[in-house]
Structure 1
Amino acid sequence: MNTVTLGVSSIDEAKERLAAAFRGEPQGQRISFVSIDLLWKTISPKRWDIIQAMTGQGPLAIREVARRLGRDVKAVHGDVLALINAGVVDRVENGVVFPYDAVHVDFMLKAA
């Protein structure tokens, strides 16, 4: 199964994973955000719906994503562009794709 992990990590943690990858240690697919606030801002509830609709589906036209969600094409287009700009969704020749079959969300909440 092609799973991506969405998570929160500092620049130092990302550098550590990069160094481990260069040493040949498998890291898996990961999309990291520098803060939980940025993760929630980027992956809003409506954008999460888009990710769910696209998971494991291969390339889709934005119009098809909107149809599956019962949403306005223009609104879905704006949300998909935000996901593209964040590196979550990829633009392909015949539409857009979320190239994963599963999503794991990983972050820790610590006492203030």
Structure 2
Amino acid sequence: MNQNILTIKVGTSIQSSLALAQQMLERLELGEEPAPYFGVGFKNVSQMLGVFTPKRWDLLAALREHGAMSIAELARTLQRDYKNVHNDVERLMEWLAIERDEQGKVFTPYSEIVVDVHLPQQKAA
């Protein structure tokens, strides 16, 4: 069973991403193997919710529960229109949440998706 985790970061700075990359490089220089990290970032919650809509979360859950399947099978499972499911799959593939296997079936390679939301900094009074 694949135990990869997709981390969705919302509202984090480029500095935090660079710090994570620096930590991974330091581990590699010490001869250690860093834990795999798969992440995508969004400027704000609205942007994230534009990609990860409720119907797309349902789609990811169905793939996780049933495993790899064709888009037509997925549409039947979700009882949704093929064209809409196809568009959702394409969009989620752009954001690394879905992949295709050798037979062209779609699946989610993650056992978990973690959403990490950082609120904007409070302005000084």
Measure, in 1, the Cα distance between the counterparts of 2:36 and 2:46: 24
Return closer, same or farther for 1:102/1:38 CA change in 2, 3 Å cut-off: same
SS of structure 1 residue aligned to 2:109: coil
Return the match for 2:38 from 30, 34, 37: 30
Measure, in 1, the Cα distance between the counterparts of 2:35 and 2:8: 13
Measure, in 1, the Cα distance between the counterparts of 2:115 and 2:75: 24
Give 1:40-59 correspondences, 5 Å limit.
40-55=49-64, 57-59=66-68
Task: Name the amino acid aligned to 2:80.
Answer: R
SS of structure 1 residue aligned to 2:60: helix
How many aligned residue pairs are there?
112
- Unpaired runs of 5+ residues, structure 2, are 28-32
Q: Is the deviation greater in 90-99 or in 22-31?
A: 22-31
- Unpaired runs of 5+ residues, structure 1, are none
Q: Contact 1:56–1:98 at 8 Å: present in 2 too?
A: no
TM-score by length of 1: 0.81
Residue 39 of structure 1 corresponds to 48
Question: What RMSD in Å do the two structures reach over aligned CA positions?
Answer: 2.3
Q: Contact 1:5–1:104 at 8 Å: present in 2 too?
A: yes
Residue 20 of structure 1 corresponds to 23
Deviation at 1:100, TM superposition (A): 1.3
Q: Contact 1:65–1:76 at 8 Å: present in 2 too?
A: yes
Residue 101 of structure 1 corresponds to 111
Task: Name the amino acid aligned to 2:16.
Answer: E
TM-score by length of 2: 0.73
Task: Name the amino acid aligned to 1:100.
Answer: Y
Residue 75 of structure 2 corresponds to 66
Q: 1:3-36: per-residue Cα shift (whole Å, max 9, x none)?
A: 3322223322212111211222745533222322
Residue 7 of structure 1 corresponds to 9
